[in-house]
Amino acid sequence: MVIIRRNEDGSIANPEVANTTQSHPALATKRGMSALSESGRAVPPLFNEIAMKVNNAKDKPRKLKVLRDNDSIALRQVLRGAFDTKIEWALPKGEVPYTVNDAPIGTDHTVLSQEAKRLYLFIKGGDNTIKQNKREVLFVQMLEALSAGEAEFLVAVINNKINNKYKGFTANLVKEAFNWDENFMKK
């Protein structure tokens, strides 16, 4: 067994040679540091975290990079539901009465990237066999199963208030990031 000792600056001290240090190759770059920071994560990036990264990005190229780096079918579905005016949600607008799931992230939650395939249930014309009361109960159950941040994000999507909550998160940004035309279809 090898014991690795670190110096105050984060470099690894070489125990065989006194007073010499070697920098670990993975810690030498920002890319290496970001890879290490995500290595122990049990869940993929949550959609509210992606939205916060877009919100915190300083300029448009960085915002585009965040969206492109986290591109997935589920993210595209949710963002299309947020910005496409042809999609009508079959849910009442405004605040949703649900109990926030306050369990630690990655323990007792579903994630929106997996639940996105069920969002058709909440769109007009998605499933006409469900009664409105059942649709609303299913939506509340979905929100209660998500983490608090993702539930807030989904409520903002349903209410078409994503740009109010996350600055700079606009339909034009999403269209440019995913190379969509005015109808939110691939060019």
Strands, sheet with 21-22, edge to edge from the N-terminal-most edge strand? 5-6, 12-13, 21-22
Cα–Cα dist 108/83, whole Å: 30
pLDDT of residue 6: 73
- What is the maximum span of the chain, computed from C-alpha positions, in angstroms? 75
The tokens describing 67, both together, are 């969206």
For the chain, what are the domain ranges? Answer: 1-40, 44-178
Residue appearing with tokens 């009508």:
88
Residue recorded with tokens 């579905």? 77
Residue 45: the pLDDT is 85
What pLDDT is stored for residue 18 in this prediction? 45
Contacts of 86 (CB under 8 A, 6+ apart): 183
pTM of the full structure:
0.73
- Say how far apart CA 6 and CA 21 lie, in whole Å: 9
Give the mean pLDDT per block of 10 residues along the chain (187 residues): 70 57 55 58 79 92 92 92 90 88 75 89 89 92 91 92 88 91 83
